[in-house]
């Protein structure tokens, strides 16, 4: 028998003479060890600094609060507040953050002025996956500006609600599941009867409860010196000194077509005077915001500039003086005056006050543990400026956490074309991954990103009653404006689909509203510059079979989409509801629509086949990377949120 062991040993090379460990090599090793130790020391030093404003607080990596009380640290408090009058705000000399001192003189609050935004090339170091039940931990190596953003960067949330009994529970969950509730701001459009439950119920069932409001807005251990109030408002207060514009009058064909680059005022519902507005405001946030408004006045007077971020411009994007300090702002109108979710989202955007991030969710939503820090981390993980969006995983009343452990999510990577030519969004299941995944579309039920995306893509008030078309239009406007769209690759928000026995707006629409919706759809098709797929044209003209797969006679030359638009310029010019402010609420200028249709595979090159429902299908190139897969058909889906295509919106 052959001795394999001996044979293998014989093949090994002879070991050379062992090198001596000289003094010179020892010196190199010692220096290397000293260098590593110094690096570890510096890393630990930076990791213990939780904020760029140590004048108020320092920490050891635990998520700290941005306030300092006189009772907790008299020397530090006195050193910051020295010479300052209670009820004032000022710029901290060392950090340029804004410090506000309560009228009681017992609490200081500081907000840094800038936070880490997208930085190309640094995203890979943030790779991570958090389950919905996981608490968030800031990495020890995080830079001070990253820690500031993760702990204190402000988030504005848009909630549009139609007679939704879950709205109050959504608002409560938003605050209670956040790791840093002090950073959260909310704008709500409520369409309900007086007998329906208010979205503001968590702040007091029958009358405002300052103690409960303080707990929600700042957390369980908020000091009593953080004073809050319920502030009644009117549209005149919110709009001043700007002009109120009737949104219906703007669509009246008897008025001249505006030539200005942006509207001269704020568009409101014709019955705006009957609407009720109010906000839950914080005293210290009010002091801070009023200082910002004063600085803005000075800068505008001196240079014509502004301290606030710019978008497409116009008075719609100018923060309201009346909203200074508002943490939760709501507008209540009657259900019969509702105009659908598109108008509701436009209304909520008017309550935005230059917060750092902007999130859109529906009023029947739940959140993961520490969702706020997790979503900001997901933004850090983006390789390009982008917005997170997807059809959230589901929940049921009484079973809010049943999909917390679900390890896949819906990637919005495909679409179909409806009979009227409107793209309808689709999605495929994909396993969670360590960073967001590029996709083609955004869902109205969840969007999250740097608030600049809303400044660059202002919500359109001229799309009443629109449903199919809202999402693809906003997606195209964002993308052509330079914003990529990503699936978050983990689930941090959850949506209640179905909602049996709950009033839904589109189920109670009357004939007049249904006719008006058709005009909104035509405006959408016009702004999208959509044509029917070329294969549909060939079917209609008798060149191919209804399936598009068999040729009946020699094919004609391909006609470019621009020559066969469903709604062309001549049609749009004749209908004010279609062309009103078409540039301001139209596409961006960073990329073209033709590029977008190629990116999403909804151009004629990709649209060739029908699905099982007879709709023309777009391509699925964005679905094919990694673990993307179709929703399984057999065995039948047991979850109500398992969909082949999109039927997720509700």
User: What are the b/e assignments for 125-144, b being 16+ CB within 10 Å?
Assistant: ebebebbbeeebebeeebeb
CA-wise closest residue to 312 among 119, 586, 593, 113? 586
Return d(Cα 35, Cα 61) in angstroms, integer. Answer: 24
Distance CA 162, CA 384 (A): 35
Its pTM surpasses 0.85: yes
How far from chain centre, in Å, is Cα 78? 39
- Residue 152, CA distances (Å) to 95, 129, 304 in order: 15, 21, 30
- pLDDT recorded at residue 397: 86
Look up residue 157 and give its two tokens. Answer: 């949330």
What would the two tokens of residue 7 be? 């044979």
Return the closest-CA partner of residue 415 out of 554, 576, 530, 295. Answer: 530
What totals of helices (H) and strands (E) does the chain contain, helices first?
18, 22
Instruction: Encode burial over 249-258: b for 16+ CB neighbours within 10 A, e otherwise.
Output: ebbeeeeeee
**pLDDT computed for residue 120 by the predictor:** 64
The angle subtended at Cα 353 by Cα 348 and Cα 356, nearest 5°, is: 105
Residue 22 has a pLDDT of 57
Are the CB atoms for 288 and 98 separated by under 8 Å? yes
Neighbours of 469 (CB within 10 A): 26
Six token digits for residue 392: 């959230």
Sign, Cα dihedral of 537, 541, 544, 546: positive
* HEC profile of 264-276: CEEEECCCHHHCE
Residues of the chain with pLDDT under 50: 1-21, 40-55, 57-63, 626-648
Domain-wise residue ranges, the chain: 67-111, 123-506
- 506 by Cβ neighbours in 10 Å (0-12 / 13-18 / 19+) ranks as middle
Contact residues for 501 (Cβ-Cβ < 8 A; gap 6+)? none
Q: Into which CATH architecture does domain 123-506 fall?
A: Alpha-Beta Complex (3.90)
Q: Which of 132, 592, 73 is nearest to 405 (CA)?
A: 132
């Amino acid at each position: 028998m052959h001795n394999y062991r001996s044979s293998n040993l014989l093949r090994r090379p002879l070991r050379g003479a062992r090198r001596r460990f000289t003094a010179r090599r020892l010196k190199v090793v010692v220096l290397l060890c000293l260098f590593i130790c110094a690096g570890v020391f510096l890393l630990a030093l930076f990791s213990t600094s939780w904020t760029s404003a140590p004048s108020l607080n320092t920490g050891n990596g635990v998520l700290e609060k941005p306030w300092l009380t006189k009772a907790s640290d008299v020397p530090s408090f006195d050193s910051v507040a020295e010479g300052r009058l209670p009820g004032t705000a000022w710029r901290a000399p060392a950090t340029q953050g804004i410090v506000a001192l309560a009228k009681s003189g017992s609490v200081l609050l500081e907000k840094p002025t800038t936070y880490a935004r997208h930085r190309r090339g640094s995203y890979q170091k943030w790779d991570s996956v958090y389950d919905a039940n996981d608490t968030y931990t800031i990495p020890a190596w995080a830079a001070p500006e990253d820690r500031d953003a993760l702990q204190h960067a402000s988030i504005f949330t848009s909630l549009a609600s139609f007679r939704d009994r879950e709205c109050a529970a959504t608002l409560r969950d938003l605050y209670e599941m956040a790791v840093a509730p002090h950073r959260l701001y909310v704008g709500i459009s409520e369409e309900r009867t007086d007998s329906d439950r208010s979205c503001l119920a968590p702040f007091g069932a029958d009358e405002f409860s300052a103690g409960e409001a303080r707990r929600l807005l700042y957390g369980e251990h908020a000091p009593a010196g953080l004073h809050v109030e319920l502030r009644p408002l009117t549209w005149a207060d919110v709009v001043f000194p700007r002009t109120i514009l009737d949104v219906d009058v703007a669509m009246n064909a008897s008025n001249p077509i505006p030539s200005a680059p942006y509207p001269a005022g704020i568009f409101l519902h014709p019955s705006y005077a009957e609407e009720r507005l109010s906000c839950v405001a914080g005293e210290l946030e009010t002091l801070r915001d009023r200082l910002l408004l004063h600085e803005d006045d000075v800068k505008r007077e001196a240079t014509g500039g502004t301290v606030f971020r710019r978008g497409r411009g116009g008075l719609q994007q100018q923060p309201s003086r009346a909203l200074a300090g508002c943490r939760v702002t709501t507008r209540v109108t009657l259900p019969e005056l509702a105009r659908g979710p598109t108008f509701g989202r436009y209304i909520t955007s008017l309550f935005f006050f230059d917060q750092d991030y902007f999130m859109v969710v529906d009023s029947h939503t739940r959140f993961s543990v520490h969702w706020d820090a997790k979503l900001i981390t997901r933004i850090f993980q983006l390789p390009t400026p982008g917005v997170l969006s997807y059809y959230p995983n589901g929940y049921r009343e009484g079973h809010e956490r049943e999909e917390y452990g679900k390890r896949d999510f819906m990637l919005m990577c495909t679409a179909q074309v409806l009979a009227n030519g409107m793209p309808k969004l689709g999605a495929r299941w994909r396993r969670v991954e360590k960073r967001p995944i590029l996709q083609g579309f955004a869902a109205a039920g969840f969007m999250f990103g740097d608030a600049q995306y809303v400044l660059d893509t202002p919500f359109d008030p001229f799309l009443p009653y629109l449903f199919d078309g809202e999402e693809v239009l906003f997606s195209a406007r964002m993308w052509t404006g330079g914003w990529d769209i990503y699936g978050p690759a983990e689930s941090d928000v959850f949506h209640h689909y179905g909602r049996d026995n709950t009033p839904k707006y589109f189920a109670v629409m009357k004939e007049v509203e249904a006719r008006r919706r058709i005009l909104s759809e035509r405006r959408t098709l016009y702004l999208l510059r959509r044509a029917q797929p070329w294969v549909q044209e060939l079917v209609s003209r008798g060149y191919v079979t209804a399936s598009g797969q068999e040729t009946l006679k020699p094919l004609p030359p391909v006609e470019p989409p621009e020559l066969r638009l469903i709604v062309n310029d001549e049609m749009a010019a004749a209908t004010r509801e279609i062309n009103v402010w078409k540039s301001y609420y139209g596409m961006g200028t960073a990329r073209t629509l033709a590029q977008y249709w190629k990116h999403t595979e909804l151009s004629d090159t990709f649209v060739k086949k029908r699905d099982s429902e007879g709709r023309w299908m777009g391509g699925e190139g964005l679905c094919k990377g990694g673990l993307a897969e179709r929703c399984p058909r057999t065995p039948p889906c047991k979850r109500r949120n398992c969909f082949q295509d999109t039927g997720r919106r509700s």
